[in-house]
Amino acid sequence: MKTTSNMEDYIPQFMKLMQIGGSPKWMALRMFINFSLGIKKHDFLVDAPDFSGGKEYRLLQVTGLGKELDDHTLLYSKMISLYDKIEISDNKMLDKHLALHAYRGYISIKNSLSSKSNVFEFLAKEIGLS
């Protein structure tokens, strides 16, 4: 799964805001993906990202592919299939859609969460608790 250079620059700041600084980057990537999958389809669209200058993460890192107890690959595949109304036919296709959802979630979070935000109020608002 690819990221953009802007995503890579933002991940440390995001992790600090989430109070998980020093954690592996895949935690932020999963949060971006999950956030994207929670956005109403037509409420938020993004332009095609430019992945040049970013990094590439293996499915092992992002979904836990191959880990006995922590393999969420099938879960992400099914969630994306339902959300995007497509059939994920292989890991290459999953990889592409994970990258697009990570980017979409990153853009949404970056535009909504500032360094002065209370992350817990932000999350409560986003999941409809406030």
Q: Is residue 11 part of a domain?
A: yes
**Residue 91's pLDDT is what?**
96
Q: Is residue 12 part of a domain?
A: yes
Band (101; pLDDT cuts 50, 70, 90): very high
Tens of pLDDT along 81-95? 999 999 999 999 999
Q: Is residue 127 part of a domain?
A: no
Q: Is residue 82 part of a domain?
A: yes
**Residue 113's pLDDT is what?**
77
Is residue 127 pLDDT above 80, yes or no?
A: no
Tens of pLDDT along 25-62? 999 999 999 999 988 775 666 778 999 999 999 999 99
How many domains are contained in the chain? 1
**Residue 40's pLDDT is what?**
79
Q: Is residue 126 part of a domain?
A: no
Q: Is residue 124 part of a domain?
A: no
**Residue 11's pLDDT is what?**
95
Tens of pLDDT along 44-54? 667 789 999 99
**Residue 120's pLDDT is what?**
62
User: pTM, whole model, 2 decimals?
Assistant: 0.87
Range of the domain at 28: 5-116
**Residue 103's pLDDT is what?**
95
The number of angstroms, rounded, from the C-alpha of 81 to the middle of its chain's C-alpha atoms is 16
